[in-house]
A and B are shown apart, each in its own frame.
Chain A
Amino acid sequence: MKKYTFTDKKDTRSGFGAGMTELGRTNPDVVVLCADLVGSLKIDTFIKENPERFFQMGIAEANMMGVAAGLTIGGKIPFATTFANFGSSRVYDQIRQSIAYSDKNVKVAVSHAGLTLGEDGATHQILEDLAMMRSLPNMTVINPCDFNQTKAATIAAANFDGPVYLRFGRPVVPVFTDPDQKFEIGKAWMVNEGKDVTIIATGHLVWEAIQAGEILEAQGIDAEIINIHTIKPLDTKAILKSVAKTKCVVTCEEHQKNGGLGDAVAQTLAQNLLAPQEYVAVNDSFGESGTPAQLMEKYGLNAASIVEKALKAIQRKI
């Protein structure tokens, strides 16, 4: 098992903020909109350095999405920022008509996705956004895993022409990816090569998958770990190549079992390759208040759960 270590823990939203700071300095077309969550989105530096390119939109997300769409007409690259809940389910029709169907170069960049939002509870813990966004034609969906990857993804999103849903989170998590990484939209990252089981993870679950890989290694199991940061377009080639080798797969995501990364992988397998799949995902329920760690444990989104599902998947091999 390839060794991954971390010296620092940071929130992925700060990776977004760092990406925006860099874009503010390098790309004059980039503009930012926010619905009263500037501090949470870590965009203070961008605003300080580029006040004329920032638009405070107040607690009015529907309007923000439309204004962002309009700003593209005139060549701007708007980042519409808020919490994931308010940047997806609350404004689905605005994103659908004014951004995706109209094919506008808007980046919907959202923080506090999933259970790790924590204490605010289920009203704010969106677990359905990947399903909604990946079902939209024209939409690219990205869910990076740590500070460095989020920063790189933010810059890649700005350089990509078309609507993007960029999803990140609130808590501090290990920083373990390369700070100078090349982020290619739609391209899987091979975290660890193995032969017994494929573990496909996105977002905060990637670090958990690495931990799970180490536990499995101690049991003599050689896990292949793949990071899918781009949920759509999905790197089906990388997935099929791996599962053809390992003959089973576990998908890991901070999202509902219905409609997310796991279902995207299942769709790929169903059409191409017969192999058992296990899901590490929230099983058709809402979240609740608690610390991020407590919630991830209670809802089975951690290394222990990945190990359990990996063993099950291996048992089920055809």
Chain B
Amino acid sequence: MTTQNLQAVASQVRRDIVRQVHGCQSGHPGGSLGCTDLIVALYFQIMKINNRKGKGGFLSFNMDGTNEDLFFLSNGHISPVFYSVLARRGYFDVKELSTFRKINSRLQGHPTTHEHLPGIRIASGSLGQGLSVAIGAALAKKLNSDKSLVFCLMGDGEQQEGQVWEAAQAAPHHKVDNLIAFVDLNGQQIDGPTEKVMNNRDLKAKYKAFGWNVIEIKKGNDMEEVVKGLRKAKRLTGKGQPIMVMLTTEMGAGVDFMMGSHKWHGVAPNDEQLAAALAQLPETLGDY
């Protein structure tokens, strides 16, 4: 896909995000908007995905993901972007996005395998667990001589969880070099700026010290930069070290009044705010 096409998908995904959150008056738009460009780039450009179609013309989903690249969302609260990308990529009907966080939905508040939503491989939301799961999946690929890759996204607030650092020491120790992980550096968490709530200090230096090959994507909301950074990350795999990408994003990216503060971490827009947000996001693929 061209950068322009990827941007068009991202615009639609951002519309989906604010509409999902508005629809149930609940959920986390800020981080979802910030990570839209990354997850669109992964699913529409970078990741090797089985394009075979199954029931209803949707992508046939296989839990083991043999010979496919796998993506794990550790910071599960940004489920709106994950659900939108999965639906737009063809895993399930985009109409189902309207059920987000509502009773009897497969689109739970946080991603889960429990409702068998295609594309989801682990429950996440209780923070700090995704990197460990991604390491396990990457080790299984090695045991299976499966050359495809495993990706894992974490939040920067999430770096305050101890388990993240247990995983951080395990991946280099076991030479999990088929793993590309990301920290979404948006600098915000529920209670305020990350450096005020609990200062992570120099994450780049920390991961380097733990034995990761660390690279940066400084403009995490610039599609061209994101794709370039992801290609670089892929080139670094298979060299004995796991790859950590420090991804700088803007919480709320794409909707001006949601940017620049933690205020929109977990707040839904009202009707007026929804209209204002949608006015900034061109409808490119058709709303659900």
Interface residues of A (CB under 8 A from B): 31, 52-53, 55, 57-58, 60, 62-76, 78, 93-94, 96-98, 101-104
Contact = CB atoms under 8 A, between A and B. Distances in A.
Interface of B: 63-66, 70, 72, 112-114, 121-126, 128-141, 143-144, 146, 162-163, 166-167, 169-170, 173-174
Contacts of A96: 126
Contact of A70 (B66, B112, B137): B137
A58 B169 contact: yes
A97 B126 contact: yes
B170 A67 contact: yes
A52 B66 CA distance: 19
Contacts of A31: 143
Contact of A53 (B129, B137, B143): B143
B134 to A, nearest CB: 6
A196 B51 CA distance: 66
A67 B163 CA distance: 11
A102 B143 contact: no
B177 to A, nearest CB: 15
A104 B64 CA distance: 11
A60 B135 contact: no
A57 B144 contact: no
Contact of A62 (B66, B125, B166): B166
B141 A74 contact: yes
Given A67-B135, A70-B134, A75-B144, A98 B123 contact: yes
Nearest to B133: A70
Contact of B126 (A57, A64, A75, A93): A93
Please name the 5 residue pairs, one residue from A and one from B, whose CB atoms are nearest each other, closest first.
A70-B136, A66-B132, A74-B140, A63-B166, A60-B166
Contact of A103 (B65, B113, B138): B113
Contacts of B173: 58
A269 B76 CA distance: 41
A62 B123 CA distance: 15
Nearest to B70: A73
Contacts of A52: 143
Q: Is the interface of A mostly helix, strand, loop or mixed?
A: helix
A55 to B, nearest CB: 7
Nearest to B116: A103
A280 to B, nearest CB: 36
A69 B133 contact: yes
A73 B136 contact: yes
Given A64-B132, A75-B64, A102-B112, 15 more contacts: A58-B166, A62-B128, A62-B163, A63-B170, A66-B132, A66-B135, A67-B136, A69-B122, A70-B136, A72-B140, A73-B137, A94-B163, A98-B129, A98-B133, A102-B122
B67 to A, nearest CB: 11
Given A70-B135, A98-B132, A76 B143 contact: yes
A53 B144 CA distance: 11
B144 A97 contact: no
6 contacts: A58-B170, A58-B173, A67-B133, A70-B132, A71-B136, A73-B136
A12 to B, nearest CB: 27
B139 to A, nearest CB: 6
Q: Which of A63, A64, A69, A93 has most chain B Cβ within 10 Å?
A: A63
Contacts of B166: 58, 60, 62-63
Nearest to B120: A102
B112 A101 contact: yes
B66 A74 contact: yes
B132 A65 contact: yes
Contacts of A104: 122
A69 B141 CA distance: 13
B129 A94 contact: yes
A153 to B, nearest CB: 24
B273 to A, nearest CB: 32
B143 to A, nearest CB: 7
Q: Which of B133, B141, B143, B144 has most chain A Cβ within 10 Å?
A: B133
Nearest to B131: A66
Contacts of B144: 74-75
Contacts of B139: 55, 67, 70-71
A65 B137 CA distance: 12
B113 to A, nearest CB: 5
Contacts of B136: 66-73, 78
